[in-house]
Amino acid sequence: MITVDKGTEFESNVCQILYTTNPYSISHYDGGPDRGRDILLQYKIEKRVYDVIVECKCYAQSVNKENIMSSLDWAKVHRPALLYLWIKPYLTPSTKDYINLFCKEYGISVLFEEELNVDKYNEELGKEKSDILVNLKKRIIDSLNNSNHTNLLELEYDNQIISTDHYLADREWERTILMGNEYLAYYIQGVSACGKTQLAKNIAYVYKQNGENIFWHTIYDDESERQTSSFFFSLSHFFEIYYNNYKLKEYLENHGYYLSNELISILTHLLNRFRPIIIIDNVHKCSSENIILKNIFETIISNRISRIYFIGWFNIFPKTANIKNNLKILILEGLEEEYLDLIIIHHIGKSRKDIAALIKVQYNGLPGYAILVDNQTNQNNLESNDTFLHGFIERLESDEKMVLFILTYVSLPIEKKYFSKLNLLESLSQLVEKRLVENRGNSYHVHDKYKPFFKNYTLNNKDFQEIMDNLIIISETEIEIVLDIISIYSEHKLLQNAYVFLEESFPRLLHHQLIKRTLKLVQGIEEISTDNKYLIELCKMKIILLERLSQYDLCIQYLKIIEKDIDFCSLKWEKVYYVQLRCFYFRNLYDELLLSFSNNRKYIFEQMKENLRIQILLLIGRVYYIRGDLESSLIIYLLSYQLAVSNSTVLVVKAIHRIAMIECCKGLYLESKSTFLKLAELETLITSKRKSFAYYRIAKCCFALNELNESIEYLQKSLSIKESYNDKRGIMYSYKMLANVHFKKHEFVDALFYIREAQNIAKELGLTKEIVAVNLTLAKNILKYDINCEEVDIKKLLYDSLCIASKEKLLSRIDTIVRLSEGNYSDIHNESKKQYELTKQLLECSALKQRNIYSEYLSKHIKNLFERLHKNKAITSSLLMEAGIITTELKRIKINIEDLC
């Protein structure tokens, strides 16, 4: 389909219409090589700025799914608050259905306007007042209010803490210590409701009055990775807003937030330079496995980098000398009666010394109980937590009770906009006045101390279901609440409700990477479930979740349990089948993988979803590549490209990446390097992890071209990303390559260091083929450079490698052993030659059949490309242009004809 000539005119017209909605800003946005220039609108609602990406699609005929796929793929990666499509002439019905499914699955807002609407807006442009254009803005704003994606994150202190009640009764002694100069790090420790957060708020307020900048961060989530990402992205936003410094933000976008020397260096530099006051609330929730956050906090404490306050129930830090000498722990006790009464007076306007005395005795003087006292509180109320806290529930209106339990059942605070949507704002305000609910800016929650007792309160079925229905509405845009709903259903023994909601929400939970918490819920439901139907489906979910956690051996165990009763190659189970193949691949079970693929080829090619088919083909091609069969590998990669080019730009990029690897193997180093350089620039189409793979391949090409310093430069770039994602397998390959470079530079000490690091990782991960690759690198270089390395037994390395390579049919590795052993170890040389011929015959016999099968699916054009690369002529630059990936760059090259004359 060809775009009509008036695309630019249409875009200008759209800009004119949208200008009437009074956006915060309006500009053009370079959307990536496959999307051209779009319109970027920003709308400011209260203190938030929302990004709206507007795409103008102007065609001669109806617009189908294929015409908007690149836009939706981009939105999945960049997640704007709203993707707004303006279409001429109109979308096909099936495309509209697809957009609706896309929005539900990925939680991304997409609106569209068709030609009929555009014509109406144009008619209204000249009018002084237009209800239609007013409604256009309302439509946009309503969509943004339901979006959980904003350009600017809310800074917790600025938008939540600074505007709350900073009243404090006494604590003068504690405040003096916390404002002292002897320490830079403080831990405010104590049981829930002892006033830790209130004390810290007061300290922060004083610093703020003195012109200091406050970074306040509360740990809510239970999943360590989300705890870490939340902290770092909030901190990066803090540096951006207060200091106009984007260094941390740029690092996180390119590398992620796993611990690396570079991340620690950036953080240390920024904290030393700007010296903000850091306050970490709920630090006790930092999970025991969250090594990253704990190490960062310990680094700040030990090195006295910045003034930092921790608030928690118990001390999470080790009792090492560095921590003990640099961290002041302050344990809060309850307050005396006079101060408890001052709190009561502050809230209800009169003294209740009798109640203050009871709180001192009954609840150890915890100020959290004094805050709740109202005019109806009496001595009987204070007999126990149940009588005291449940007594409040009895006095609530039905809508107040609704709000209280919505907040009681969730693990995170809920924003005000949801209560507005549910017409519960007045009840929310009443609960804040009664101090049963705390608010911080636009977010509301029930104090941790009270929540368990409210949860124990027995609701009637009708009230309970209404509360759950409202939570389900909120969960449509707040994914964490999905997990809370499932937990509440399970706790109330409503197993079917829990299971049904889990099944419906599972794709969303996966997409938002809530892996560990979802797995915990699945495990919990599985343990109490007696219905076999549930057990099978729960097992399916566990397999998918475990694979996401790289628990391949456990996955294989579960798969073996159910594979006799399940047809994996069916519409319902094909995703699990792909997981099974990935597990085979990552556990080096190549024969099992190829056999399974061969047995199920008919289904894969004729019935499986296109995306899964392409991903499986890329996996199969990788096996042939590893075994040294470049011809079979190339055919499969080209077939993957052929299928992907009309389906998914991301998979096209993945296929071209693999084909460029074969170009490198064929000695086409300049061409391969050029392609990987281009792939590394595709910010919207590749993940940071894939960028690290591209940098590694560039380094390999540089090594072959004898550009050794450049090779080290790209290996360091690759390593930086791999370290940030804790990609140990990838780190091992980079170390191996660094060893090769240093051997070539005759820097043997460095080379041996890196090769030993690579050996250690390969052994730690139990990766046999990687152990072979590293050992052969060591043996090859010792023999080549005649290095005196007595601790290395070359003959044993070659023998052990031959055993593994023969068993796993790694033909290229066996060939390396043949060459290395020649003239050095005759027995190994003879055995390796024998194994080479046996393996070659075995692989060639099956590979020839496979190549013929795959070739049947190739188009004439793709077959020609195969012949070109088979004859050592590069093809990836052509593929990049053919797929439309580098056309934008070509268009940017402007020629001034007059200058040429």
pLDDT tens for 798-847 read 999 999 999 888 988 999 999 999 988 999 999 999 999 999 888 887 77
Closest CA to 370 of 493, 198, 523: 198
Across 587-606, average pLDDT: 91
Across 482-498, average pLDDT: 93
Q: How far apart are CA 359 and CA 350, in angstroms?
A: 16
Across 194-209, average pLDDT: 94
Q: Could you give phi then psi for residue 30, rounded to 5 degrees?
A: -75, 110
pLDDT for position 685 = 74
pLDDT for position 282 = 93
Tokens of 100: 């609706």
Give the pLDDT confidence of 353-391 residue by residue, as tens digits: 999 999 999 999 999 999 999 888 888 888 888 888 998
Between 6-10, 277-281, 602-606, 753-757, the lowest mean confidence (pLDDT) is in 6-10
pLDDT for position 714 = 95
Across 892-898, average pLDDT: 51
Confidence of residue 776 (pLDDT cuts 50, 70, 90): very high
Check pLDDT > 50 for residue 497. yes
pLDDT for position 378 = 86
Check pLDDT > 60 for residue 599. yes
Confidence of residue 78 (pLDDT cuts 50, 70, 90): low
Across 449-465, average pLDDT: 93
Q: Is 492 exposed, middle or buried (0-12, 13-18, 19+ CB in 10 A)?
A: middle
pLDDT for position 150 = 44
Across 524-548, average pLDDT: 86
Across 658-668, average pLDDT: 95
Q: How far apart are CA 135 and CA 117, in angstroms?
A: 12
Check pLDDT > 90 for residue 426. yes
Tokens of 384: 């126990």
Give the pLDDT confidence of 293-331 residue by residue, as tens digits: 998 999 999 999 999 999 999 999 988 999 999 999 999
Predicted TM-score (pTM) above 0.75 = no
Q: How far apart are CA 127 and CA 130, in angstroms?
A: 6
- Enter the DSSP assignment of 335: P
Q: How far apart are CA 326 and CA 682, in angstroms?
A: 45
For 240-272, the DSSP string reads: HHHH---HHHHHHHHH-SS--HHHHHHHHHHHH
Tokens of 121: 């807006």
- Enter the DSSP assignment of 380: G
Check pLDDT > 60 for residue 37. no
Peptide bond into 413 cis (omega under 30): no
- pLDDT over 70 for what percent of the chain? 94
pLDDT for position 230 = 85
pLDDT for position 27 = 67
Check pLDDT > 70 for residue 53. yes
Confidence of residue 464 (pLDDT cuts 50, 70, 90): very high
Across 555-560, average pLDDT: 91
pLDDT for position 420 = 86
Spatial neighbors of 645 by CB under 8 A, at least 6 apart, are 652, 882, 883
Other Cβ atoms within 10 Å of 387 Cβ, number: 12
Dmax over Cα atoms in the chain, in whole Å? 99
pLDDT for position 153 = 53
State how far Cα 750 lies from the chain centre. 35
Q: How far apart are CA 422 and CA 99, in angstroms?
A: 26
CA dihedral 408, 414, 416, 418 (to 10 degrees): -90
Between 188-192, 221-225, 545-549, the lowest mean confidence (pLDDT) is in 221-225
pLDDT for position 151 = 43
Across 553-576, average pLDDT: 88
Across 266-271, average pLDDT: 94
pLDDT for position 890 = 47
The backbone region for 260, taken as left when phi is positive above 0, alpha when psi lies in -120 to 50, beta otherwise, is beta
pLDDT for position 891 = 47
Q: How far apart are CA 882 and CA 33, in angstroms?
A: 12
Q: Give the orientation angle of helix 291-302 with respect to helix 261-274, to 10 degrees.
A: 40
Residue with tokens 């080829």: 601
pLDDT for position 896 = 55
pLDDT for position 147 = 63
Q: How far apart are CA 431 and CA 414, in angstroms?
A: 14
Q: How far apart are CA 255 and CA 692, in angstroms?
A: 9
pLDDT for position 440 = 83
- pLDDT over 90 for what percent of the chain? 53
Spatial neighbors of 224 by CB under 8 A, at least 6 apart, are 286, 287, 289, 290, 292, 293, 516
Average pLDDT over all residues of the chain: 87
Check pLDDT > 60 for residue 898. no
Between 247-251, 332-336, 755-759, 872-876, the lowest mean confidence (pLDDT) is in 247-251
Higher pLDDT, 562 or 325: 325
Check pLDDT > 70 for residue 46. no
Between 187-191, 233-237, 311-315, 400-404, the lowest mean confidence (pLDDT) is in 233-237
Higher pLDDT, 707 or 789: 707
pLDDT for position 658 = 96
Q: How far apart are CA 683 and CA 693, in angstroms?
A: 14
State how far Cα 509 lies from the chain centre. 12
Confidence of residue 207 (pLDDT cuts 50, 70, 90): very high
pLDDT for position 397 = 93
β-strands 110-113, 185-189 pairing: unpaired
pLDDT for position 386 = 86
List the beta strands (DSSP E) in 77-159.
Answer: 82-88, 110-113
